Chains A and B, each alone.
Chain A
Amino acid sequence: MKTKIGFFDFAGCEGCQLTVMNLEEQLLQVLQLVEIVEFRELHSGSAEQIDIAFVEGSICRPGDRERLLEIRRRSDILIALGSCADNGGVNALGSDRTPEVLRQEVYGADLPHLYTETPHALSKLVKVDYRIPGCPIDGQEFLAILQALLLKQQPELPGFAVCVECKLAEYPCSFDYGQVCMGPITRAGCRAICIDGGTHCRGCRGLIDNPRTSPYHRILEEHGLTVEEILEQYRTFNVNERPA
C-alpha cells in the first residue's frame, strides 16, 4: 500500500504547493511511492485517513481553526509547509496592529467578507510533527523530508546558517554591498538563492536554533542601523522571533 499524502492550504500564496508541482519529473517518480489523496491544485479528491498531511498557509480566517483541527484529526503526520504555516510568515508582519486597525489601513472601508484575525502559525493550534521552512519551500528539501518519512526516519533540517550556503557557492557577502542580510542567523537549506539572485536574505526560513543575536546586532549597529531598524529586519518573516 502506498503512503497516502495530502496537501492543504490556508492563508498563503500557494507558492509552496506550486513548488511541489514544479518538481514535475521528480514528482512523477515520487508517485511510484505515494498516493496523493488530496491536493486542490491537482484534483478534487479527499480521504478519510491521511498518512502525511502537508499544510500550507497561516490561520487567520473564520473557520480556519476548525478546518485545521479536522485535518489534524485525519492525519498521522502533519507537516507545516512553508513560512506561513511554520511561523506565520509574511502574513504575520502586520501583527503589531490589531486586525481592526490593519483592515482600516489597508481597505479603508468595512468589508465583512475580508474579516481576519492576527495570523497564526499552525503550531499555535495543533501539534505540528515536522516543518519545511521557506518562502517558498525548497523542492529538494521537500523531497528529502518526504524520503526520510517514507523510510521511517527523523527528517532533519540544517542547523547552520545561510552564510554556509554563500561560502560554499562563493557568493559575495551582502554586507560587502551595503545590504543588511539576515543570513547569519537564518537557517540554511535554501542554497542562498536570494543572494545568488542579487538580493539579500530576509530570513524566510526562520532563525537557526541558536541564533547569535547579540554579535549579529552589534554588526548591524556597526553598519549604521538603529535598534528600531534592527528589529524591523525581523518583521518580514520572523515577527514573533523579534528579540525583546
Chain B
Amino acid sequence: MQQQTITQAEHLPSTSLWRAIQPTEILRFVRSLLLAYDVIGVQKKRNRLTLDTLQDAADLILEFPPDVHSPKKFLFPNWDQLFRFKLDENILLQPETAAAPRIIFGMHPCDLHAVKILDDCLFEGETDSSYRAKREATLLVGVDCAPDEYCFCTSLGTDRIAHGFDLFLHRRDNYYLVQTGSERGRKLLQTHAPEIFAGPEESPLPLQVKQCSNQIQFPAESLPSLLGEAYEDKTWQELGHRCLGCGSCTLLCPSCYCFNVQDKLEINLQEGQRVRTWDSCQFDQFAQVADGNNFRSSQADRQRHRFYRKYKYLWEKHQRTACVGCGRCSRECLSEIEPVTVLNRLFADSSQLPASSPGSEYQPLMAQVIDVQQLSELDRLFRLRLPQTIDFSPGSFLQMSVFGLGEAPFSIASAPDGGQEIELVVRKAGALTQALHRTRKGDSIGIRGPFGSGYSLEKMQDKDLLLVARGRGLLAIRSLLLAALAERQKYGRITLICGAKDIDALIFPSDLLNWHQSGQIDCRIAVKDPQNSWGIPPQDVSYLFKDLDIDPQRTVASLSGPPEMYRQVNPLLFRMGLSEESVYLNLERHMKCGLGKCGKCRINNICVCECGPIFPYSSIKHLAEAIER
C-alpha cells in the first residue's frame, strides 16, 4: 500500500504546471520552505561543494557541477539505525523514528533517475521500510546541469527526465521555468510560492537533451547481451590487476545500495542500536562466508560483478540500467577504471554489429600508412596501421576510402596475424587508385572492413597445399601462403603455381624468388611473354601442371585468378583426382558495399561479399555466372 503512495507521488499529473520563476523568487521560495521543511541543497562548506541541510536560503547553490556527491546519503544513509535494543531485558525493540519532512532542492536528472533505481530495488519484494520512510518524507526538486568530461548520461538516456520529481527547474536565459511533476510538487508551489503558482501558464519545454563527449558507442539496449557474451573476457582480469579494491566506485554511485548490518553498543554495554552501513562488492570480505570461503575471491571477479549488476542483471530485472552515467565512479577512481572505456572495448572486441547511428556501417575508420613500397610500375604496397586489431581469413577484403573519390574493395595481401597492421596492394588505374598512390608514409586513409569469408586454414591443416594464382589473384594467395608459412609444421607439401602476362605483372617478384629459393615450398612460375627478363620459357599456367606430382587425397587446392584460369585449371585438377570439395576458388566481383546489400557482387542468386569471395567448387558449380561466361 505504501508503495502505491510513491507511485501516486511519482505520477505525472495530466497537466504539468509550467511557470516562470526568477532567481530572487527561488530564494524567497526556499526561505518559505525552510520554515516548514528541512531543506537539503548544495552549498559551500570548507571550500567544497556539498549537499547538506541548509541553514540559510542564501547559501543554496542551485547550479552546481556534476562532481558533487550524490543525494543517496539522504535517502539511503551510510549509518542508518534499524532499531534500538537493551541487552539486559533480552531485546527491546523500539520503533524507528519517522524521517522529518524534507526537500532535496537541486537534483540533476541522473540523480533523479538513480532514485528510480533505488525504488526498483528497495520496494521490490519485501519493501525496505526504512528507505520507504525517508523516501516518502522527501520531496525532490530537479535542476538542469552541464555535463563534464566524465558524464555519459546521454548514452543511457538519463540526461533528461519526464517524471520522478516533484518539481523541476529548467534553466532559461536569466530565469527558470518550474515544472510540476507531482501533486505534492504542485501543492508545494501553491503553498510556498503562491504568486508563482498563480502566475501565467508558460508553454512546456520539450525534454531537455544534453551533450556529452564521453559516449558509449553502441545502443545501451545491447548492454545485457554484450555482457552476456563477455563473462570470460580478458578485460575482467585486466581490471582486477588495476583495481585497488578501495570501493570508492560503489560508495560514490548514486544507485549502489548493498549494505552491512552491525550492532553499535552504548558505552555502558546496556543498550545499543542495530545499524546498517554501506558495504561494497569491491571489498575483499563482501562475498566471504564463515568458513573463510570467498565466492568472489579475486578483484577481477568483483569488478565483473559490479559491471554485470549495473548493466545486465538489474537491466533484465527492471528494464533499465542500474547506472545513470553520472561519472562519479570514474571521476574519483585513482586507477582510472572508466565504464565507458571498458564497455566500448568489450563492444569493439565483440562480434555484435548493431550500428550506433544511421549510416555508421558505411563510415570508414582512419588507418595510418606506415610504409609504402613500389612493387612494379603500376603496383604499390601499402602497410597500414589500423585503429584496432582485426580478425580475418586469407581472401577477405577491405574497403579503402579517399574522401572526395569514394571507396573500393582490395584483397588483404598480408597474413591474418591478429595484429593491427595489414598490407594492401593498389594497382594504379582510375581516379581512386591514383589518389591512393599519392598517399605517403604517415598519411591517413579510410578503411572499412574486413569483409567476406576467405580460405579456411583450419580445413587445410595436415594437408598438402596446392596454390594456383594468376595476375592479381596472387594477393589473396600471398595472404594464405604467409599464414601457412608462419606455422609451416601444420601443413604438408606446399606447391605454388603462379602465372602472369610478363615479369612486370608478377606482383611480388622478390617474394616469389625468395619462396622459390627457400626450399620451404615448391614454387613454379609461368609467364607468357617470350622476351621476359628472367629468361623462362613462355608458358601458360596450365603447362606447369604437366609434371605435377600430387596426392589427390591429401591435397587442397586454392585457386585465385580470372575465370578463364578456373576454366582451364579445374578440369586438370579433377582429372588428377581432386574432389569438388577440396578445390577452392576466389570469385571476387565488385563488392561495393561489403554488407550484402548493394547487389553489385551477385553471382546469380548469391552475394559474393557475404558468402565468399572464396568458395569450394562444389558450392558454386551450379551457378552459371560463376566461371562460365
Contact = CB atoms under 8 A, between A and B. Distances in A.
Question: Are A and B genuine complex partners?
Answer: yes
Given A160-B280, A161-B246, A219-B335, A167 B267 contact: no
B56 interface: no
B244 A216 contact: yes
A209 B69 CA distance: 28
A209 B284 contact: yes
Contacts of A164: 246-248, 251, 280
Interface in A129-144: 143
Given A161-B246, A167-B248, A143 B334 contact: no
A38 B50 CA distance: 47
Contacts of B78: 168
Interface of B: 48, 50, 69, 78, 241-248, 251-252, 265, 267-269, 278, 280, 283-285, 299, 332, 334-335
B332 A212 contact: no
A172 interface: yes
A33 B270 CA distance: 11
Contacts of A212: 243-245, 299
Given A143-B267, A160-B246, A163-B244, A170 B280 contact: no
A150 B50 CA distance: 40
Contacts of B241: 214-215
A188 to B, nearest CB: 10
Interface string A146-169: 010011000000011101100110
Q: Is the interface of B mostly helix, strand, loop or mixed?
A: loop
A172 B331 CA distance: 12
Contacts of A218: 242
Interface residues of A, number: 30
A242 B299 CA distance: 22
A175 interface: yes
Interface stretch (A24-32, A69-77, A92-100, A116-124): A24-32
A179 interface: no
A24 to B, nearest CB: 12
B243 A215 contact: yes
Nearest to B284: A210
Nearest to A163: B246
Given A33-B268, A164-B251, 6 more contacts: A30-B267, A147-B269, A151-B265, A164-B280, A168-B278, A210-B245
19 contacts: A26-B267, A30-B267, A151-B265, A159-B285, A160-B280, A163-B247, A164-B248, A167-B251, A168-B278, A170-B50, A173-B332, A175-B334, A212-B243, A212-B244, A212-B245, A214-B241, A215-B241, A215-B242, A215-B335
Pairs of residues from A and B, 6 with the lowest C-beta to C-beta distance, nearest first: A163-B246, A167-B251, A29-B267, A212-B244, A184-B244, A159-B285
A157 B247 CA distance: 17
B246 A147 contact: no
Contacts of A143: 267
A142 to B, nearest CB: 12
Nearest to A210: B284
Given A161-B244, A168-B251, A214-B241, A33 B284 contact: no
Nearest to A28: B267
Contacts of A172: 48
A167 B332 CA distance: 9
A213 B243 CA distance: 10
Contacts of B267: 26, 29-30, 143, 147
A147 B265 contact: yes
A151 to B, nearest CB: 7
Nearest to B283: A160
A159 B284 contact: yes
B48 to A, nearest CB: 7
A217 B68 CA distance: 28
Contacts of B278: 168
A219 B280 contact: no
B602 to A, nearest CB: 54
Among A163, A172, A214, chain B packs the most CB atoms within 10 A around the CB of A163
Contacts of A173: 332, 334
Contacts of A29: 267-268
A148 to B, nearest CB: 9
A218 B337 CA distance: 14
A23 to B, nearest CB: 9
Contacts of B242: 215, 218
Contact of A150 (B251, B269, B284, B334): B269
A215 to B, nearest CB: 5
Nearest to A147: B265
A212 B246 CA distance: 9
A193 to B, nearest CB: 14
B333 to A, nearest CB: 10
B53 to A, nearest CB: 14
Contact of B248 (A33, A163, A215, A219): A163
B178 to A, nearest CB: 29
A170 B252 CA distance: 9
A33 B269 contact: yes
